[in-house]
Amino acid sequence: MSRNTWTCQIKSGGSWTSDGTIFRPNDSISISKTSTQNQTALADGNIAYVTPSIKYRDGAVTFIWYWDDGTVKAKIEGYINSQNDVKIIDHNSREYVGRFLAINSQWIAGLDNDKYDIRATLEIMPSLA
């Protein structure tokens, strides 16, 4: 069975540059969006909502890969070490733009070739797009 890949780009000199591909994650991805509006009580007791210029905030996205041979692990660790701005484009052309802030790898010991289960957190930063 073949595995699909997603496109990776890094920001260099103000423009996005191709940085190859990574395998598509193996687990579901939770995508959250939170409103920035504030509830305010008016003098007459009614409630009003105030919306600042930034109307919402995208939550961090956690990607999970199972049985990685170290390729995805090395790429994401490189992004973290270099503090790269990253754009990942999935198989539906959806873009995830931000920075990887954390990676947790579980080494599956006892195999001839190293394998890892990986959980990596991408902080979404729309201003980078």
80 torsion bin: left (phi>0), alpha (psi -120 to 50), beta (else): alpha
| Predicted local distance difference test score (pLDDT) of residue 129 | 67
Closest residue by Cα to residue 63 from 13, 6, 11: 6
pLDDT confidence tier of residue 1, bands split at 50, 70 and 90: very low
The β-bridge relationship of strands 5-12 and 86-89 is antiparallel
pTM score, whole prediction: 0.81
Query: What does the alpha-carbon distance between residue 111 and residue 60 come to, in Å, rounded to a whole number?
Result: 33
DSSP symbols for 38-71: EEEE-TTS-EEEE--SS-EEEPPEEEEEEEE-SH
- State the average pLDDT over residues 97-124: 92
